[in-house]
């Protein structure tokens, strides 16, 4: 049960047999396909030729709850799948959500030449270069920091 089951996408052999795609887990491949199914395209004129262009690339999203509903996987599987896709260069975060209710993260899918705003297939450079530094880190939890045991304490009352 995809979010939009009326569309499809052709994966080139270059993408399918790439080191980046082959390293992905099955859940990461599922998430990539879900994000691709969110893309919408239209025909744009470039001189005399018409080109197919993604119009909403950079605004596609899939929350952990939607991923769980579609695949049956848990929240940590969603996060590791998303982190894998960022690391190998298939997606890039354009907006990090979670600031308020209804604020979801949005992504740019970097799989082919028809990306609106330029050509970017950085997954082709994957084994030599990775984008692990772009994986979002959790914000530090400072609650209970003062009451934690210090090094050398055993918990017994003296």
Q: Give the pLDDT score at 22.
A: 92
Q: Is the pLDDT of residue 124 over 60?
A: yes
Decide which of 138 and 73 is more confident: 73
Q: Which residue has the higher pLDDT, 8 or 35?
A: 35
pLDDT in tens, 36-50: 888 887 777 777 887
Q: Is the pLDDT of residue 117 over 60?
A: no
CB atoms within 10 A of CB 30: 20
pLDDT higher than threshold 80 for residue 51: no
The average pLDDT across 118-140 equals 79
Q: Which residues contact 132 (CB under 8 A, 6 or more apart)?
A: 86, 87
Q: What is the mean pLDDT of the chain?
A: 81
Model confidence band, residue 29 (pLDDT cutoffs 50, 70, 90): very high
Token output for 16: 């399918």
DSSP result, 89-129: TSEEEEE---SSTT---EEEE-SSTT-TTS---GGGGTTT-
Q: Would you call 18 exposed, middle or buried from its count of C-beta atoms within 10 A (0-12, 13-18, 19+)?
A: buried
Q: How many CB atoms lie within 10 A of CB 67?
A: 22
pLDDT at 119 over 70: no
Which token pair is 91? 């997606």
The pLDDT of residue 142 is 65
137 touches 64 (CB < 8 A): no
Whether pTM exceeds 0.85: no
């Amino acid at each position: 049960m995809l979010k939009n089951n009326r569309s499809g996408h052709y994966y080139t052999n270059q993408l399918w047999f790439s080191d980046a795609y082959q390293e992905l887990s099955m859940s990461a491949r599922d998430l990539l396909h879900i994000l691709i199914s969110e893309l919408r395209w239209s025909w744009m004129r470039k001189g005399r030729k018409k080109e197919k262009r993604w119009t909403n690339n950079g605004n596609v999203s899939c929350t952990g709850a939607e991923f769980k509903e579609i695949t049956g996987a848990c929240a940590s599987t969603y996060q590791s799948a998303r982190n894998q896709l960022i690391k190998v260069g298939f997606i890039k975060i354009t907006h990090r959500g979670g600031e308020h209710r209804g604020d979801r993260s949005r992504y740019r899918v970097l799989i082919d030449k028809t990306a609106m705003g330029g050509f970017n297939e950085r997954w082709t450079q994957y084994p030599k270069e990775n984008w692990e530094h772009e994986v979002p880190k959790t914000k530090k939890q400072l609650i209970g920091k003062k009451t934690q045991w210090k090094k050398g304490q055993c918990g017994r009352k003296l």
